[in-house]
Amino acid sequence: MNRRNVLAGLGGIVAGGGALLGTGAFSTVSADRTVTVSTADDDSGSALVGFSPTSSYASVSSGTLQLDLSNVNLDATVTLTGVFDIVNNHSAQIALNSPWTVSANGISVTLTPGSSTVASGSSTAVDVEIVTDGAASGASLNQTVTIDVTA
């Protein structure tokens, strides 16, 4: 037997043994860790993403931003600029995945920020567009809008 054949044979035994017995790695770990979460009102200045009313159409009630867009004309498109600000209190830039739209009863409301990103410590104004084409007189919309933000 020559040296090459011996080395090839030993290499095959080691590789085969490793495949047969495994590598010693693991596939599952379970570990307990502590998680602490605290919440803050939208306009408190300490929430990571704050919402600050900047017009008579926006207010903060029970800690959350509320919009009151009453008495909008029928069969119209109404645009309100700078209704509220989105404030970045986070330590990094945030991305605003927008626009955000809700609709019901022939009424559509779209929220559009002035910028798609907000630097740490900065804010951007949000415009609101209300479209009432096809809405009946007295129609209303009372829905929750999800504002999607990525850090």
pLDDT of 91-140, one tens digit each?
Answer: 999 999 999 999 999 999 999 999 999 999 999 999 999 999 989 999 99
Locate the domains of the chain by residue range.
Answer: 49-150
Amino acid occupying residue 21: L
As assigned by CATH, the class of the 49-150 domain is mainly beta
Output the pTM of the full model.
0.76
Contact 59, 68 (CB under 8 A): yes
pLDDT (tens digit, 9 = 90+) per residue, 70-96?
Answer: 989 999 999 999 999 999 999 999 999
Q: How far is CA 112 from the centre of its chain?
A: 14
